[in-house]
Structure 1
């Protein structure tokens, strides 16, 4: 059953906006019952690239300052290791596996692999209730500025079905990465950062007297790696720079791109302060998936498209003055499906559909309690062009189980089908405990199978036309061994 306006109910006590069970009302100098919401989403930004998450090379002073005023999450996850599924999970609160939107749009499906890629849904159906529609129903003005990547293609037009304007957004700017569509009107703005920022700031200014949802969805720091020469040179000359941009941990070009992105965030925060709206605004900083690989993302293993931590663990910073304690840190696992129900609670609304997989993180933000769920899950039934094999995973407590689908077919598990890690003790996922802890493997695998059944996840049957690939083909060799890119770099 789809969650739409017909089975979405507003809660009775919305007007009072009591956030903390009777002892903490939003804001010390409350101007409105419903706070504004700003979601600032980076593209392909690695957990290891932010100063407040430990980077000594990348410079993110404005993100770091935001973290000092906010709650920083150490164990926040994207619902998928690639962009479109994560963005769909943000918009709907549903796992990509439930939506059958499990790959980036418009990815091709190979015909010569061991497993058959399912006929997945390569767009976000209009029947789905989006966060923008939910908030619009609750009295918010909504704006989308930047990357959408949830329609069947990127031939965006205002008013076209499937584009942001048909999914609940009142004010829309859609942009592309360099070379993929209309270029920015500004010089030295290849990734449209300035264009996106100026439109978002103008939207905030125009709607300062009423609740708004401002979704700032950047194309940066996704490839192609383009930035001003003088800014790149600054980082090339910095100690620790690694100029092997294909593998490097301290990438000067991405560092330059990230500095520009950091200044975009500063411009948005400055506008909120100028209008005295910072006390009335929930501000969320997040990334859609891990660092574009194959690159070194240590201390995390793997990178974008991996089900290892480097592909799915993301920086998450959330600020709401008067509710969130500045400088606080949360170590409880959260996931991108949680934004939808969190925004619903912020807006004084209730999501009644059991098909919403996320859980409001307001108890964590208020430090008033924990979440109710026991585990979070991933399902990636695809072959990625960088050579990552199909896989799934579950995290329950400190333990994470990875299943490589090519080695786990129809209940027959070959050697290497499972990897088990204790993330509290082994963040870099180097010590596979699967052989030492078979009971834990069985417990988590049972949870993973039941979850796939519950959400209707698409399975990958054997390909009847499969021919064993030439052993010299590195893509086939990697995928058919069940390995990640991280095992080969």
Structure 2
């Protein structure tokens, strides 16, 4: 079956056309339903090869797929309608937004990449509209914030990709909030990366259903530990296939009310884990380098092979989504949007653009943006001008007659509805700003200006090979002032603010709270399994003086059941774990003893197709730690080991991945 699927897809690809101190609100609704997905199991009997049944079809143009959001604006917009609730909910279009992770502008056959074929994604351009100059942020969490809020991430408080810096302010209204309020069924499946605990959790930010993970990256892509509406579950098979199937299940579940599905897929972000059936087409494959010499010189060919295999896997899953919409007779009334969150995570083919992920040049910021909506948007058109992730919220609201509602401030994004309906219309003049890690640039319809004084004519020189600042003093001065004014107005934060972050616990409307080990402060010999905190665990617990401590803010006091997810050798059985709550003079504690070993080593490393930079992952075992009383307000939760069993050395003690707190209902 797999071989048959691969031959069919290969045949289709060969025919694919190419083209050019915080105040937390309580009582926040966390979603109207908490139904359990039928495909999630605590114990997985065996992953299904869902893509073995993919059918390649002629896709109707009724669906809007959004996949890579950026921080930018576009110049042909209108304001959102005030009479947004004028249509009955049943007549409104569905929305499917697909966002991919670390897939660059050049990672599509649509954009001339000779190394892969992406016929299903390409079909969105054929059957819909592509925005030629669409911009996102240099890295992932800022882009997500800008898509979700329609405002620059610098306004909403995002300054990092971990340690709480990925969270946008609670005063912000999300696209999920708006569509939920308008009667849509809302769901997010995939990588959230905008906060883990309520009220930052997706269930608290406008999404009825959430299945995936909230971290910035994940260490294992094969039947991994995930969460379903806050509760830990085990995934089913390769993660992107699993997330796609959950999106399809959500489409099928209720045909009476429109849906808004946000599908932030987590590939081709590293680790570069690829299913065998996708890897077989790229193992040992000759790779055509990027035409830009410095990109070609820096390319890690094995990493590129893995990234492109993951991009073709994404394309297969987009095909499944479009197939499902067709099968369910939903294509004509579904808006499908596809875009990416930043530039490529490697120096591979990117159309000669300068920079990659993390850069504020074109190569780090330019993203595909494909929008298909057959009944309202003409097919096969290209929209000029500039646009960005900030524009998707007002645009989708406008297309669906949904009221944006009261936001934390004026939206930076604009509705692109006029440009989508009349792609040949002249774009208006506007600017799109970006900031990351102390670097700043601004894009106009013609130029990109950098804070170091360089000015590039992107129309004539899209690769930013030569500054024209001296030749264009008027444009340079105008954009320099605009960028300086924007920086003063939005006040971008730096990563030093990580020290100020606390983690909310015990939201009154959310029974579960996750406290991952990565967010604890480690003392003594304990250290993270990797210097990149996302998806890491704490290891080297050798002394009774060692501790893990979380700085938390309890939103509503009460009694909580505590669980830890751990690994340890047989020799560590009998180790005692002690959790203590301190808040001034107030203290409470709970203890438990490790009664079962869990000698798990790293899992699924055989699926790594390129050397990983992230932490490995293990099969973690759940252990009850007892009950603890927490009082409202700020305090510290400290985990220690008063008794450590085992031999001295690397395997002594326990390794901790996650602590979970579950509110005990009041009697």
SS at match of 1:218: strand
Q: Which residue of 2 aligns with 1:290?
A: 343
Q: Which residue of 1 aligns with 2:148?
A: 91
Q: In the TM superposition, what are the counterparts of 1:17-56 in structure 2 within 5 Å?
A: 32-56=90-114
Which of 258, 271, 275 is matched with 2:324 structurally? Answer: 271
Moved more, 80-89 or 53-62: 53-62
Matched, 1:204 2:254: no
Distance, in Å, in 1 between the alignment partners of 2:298 and 2:241 is 24
Q: In the TM superposition, what are the counterparts of 1:40-439 in structure 2 within 5 Å?
A: 40-78=98-136, 80-106=137-163, 121-151=165-195, 153=196, 160-175=198-213, 177-179=217-219, 182=225, 185-187=235-237, 189=238, 192-240=239-287, 246-248=299-301, 251-295=304-348, 297-351=350-404, 355-367=410-422, 369=425, 374-380=430-436, 382=437, 390-403=438-451, 417-439=452-474
Structure 1 residue ranges without an equivalent (≥5): 18-30, 108-120, 383-389, 404-416, 462-489
Change (3 A) 1:122 1:263: closer
SS at match of 1:418: coil
CA contact (8 A) 2:240 2:265 kept: yes
CA contact (8 A) 1:89 1:96 kept: yes
Q: CA deviation at 1:213?
A: 0.3
Instruction: Decide which structure has the larger Cα Rg and report it.
Output: 2
Is the helix fraction higher in 1 or 2?
A: 1
Change (3 A) 1:373 1:165: farther
Distance, in Å, in 1 between the alignment partners of 2:495 and 2:201 is 30
CA contact (8 A) 2:287 2:301 kept: no
Distance, in Å, in 1 between the alignment partners of 2:158 and 2:426 is 29
CA contact (8 A) 1:45 1:287 kept: yes
Distance, in Å, in 2 between the alignment partners of 1:373 and 1:32 is 37
Q: Which residue of 2 aligns with 1:450?
A: 485
Number of matched residues?
A: 399
SS at match of 1:374: coil
Distance, in Å, in 1 between the alignment partners of 2:277 and 2:336 is 31
CA contact (8 A) 2:106 2:349 kept: no
Greater RCO (CA < 8 Å, at least 6 residues apart): 1
Distance, in Å, in 1 between the alignment partners of 2:467 and 2:300 is 24
Change (3 A) 1:163 1:244: farther
Distance, in Å, in 1 between the alignment partners of 2:254 and 2:168 is 28
CA RMSD of aligned residues (A): 2.9
Q: CA deviation at 1:178?
A: 4.2
CA contact (8 A) 1:102 1:379 kept: no
Moved more, 432-441 or 324-333: 432-441
Distance, in Å, in 1 between the alignment partners of 2:182 and 2:426 is 26
CA contact (8 A) 2:304 2:346 kept: no
Instruction: Give a deviation string over 1:301-338, Cα, whole Å, max 9, x none.
Output: 11000001111100110000121111111121100000
Instruction: Give a deviation string over 1:79-114, Cα, whole Å, max 9, x none.
Output: x2000010000000000111131332239xxxxxxx
Instruction: Give a deviation string over 1:1-41, Cα, whole Å, max 9, x none.
Output: x9x99xxx972364259xxxxxxxxxxxxx94311111011
CA contact (8 A) 2:125 2:380 kept: yes
CA contact (8 A) 1:75 1:333 kept: yes
CA contact (8 A) 1:105 1:150 kept: no
SS at match of 1:234: coil
CA contact (8 A) 1:394 1:444 kept: yes
SS at match of 2:192: coil
Distance, in Å, in 2 between the alignment partners of 1:325 and 1:398 is 26
Matched, 1:11 2:67: no
SS at match of 1:289: coil
Instruction: Give a deviation string over 1:352-390, Cα, whole Å, max 9, x none.
Output: 65521000111111117556552111122x2xxxxxxx2
Is the strand fraction higher in 1 or 2?
A: 2
Change (3 A) 1:304 1:91: same
Q: CA deviation at 1:145?
A: 0.2
Distance, in Å, in 2 between the alignment partners of 1:365 and 1:171 is 30
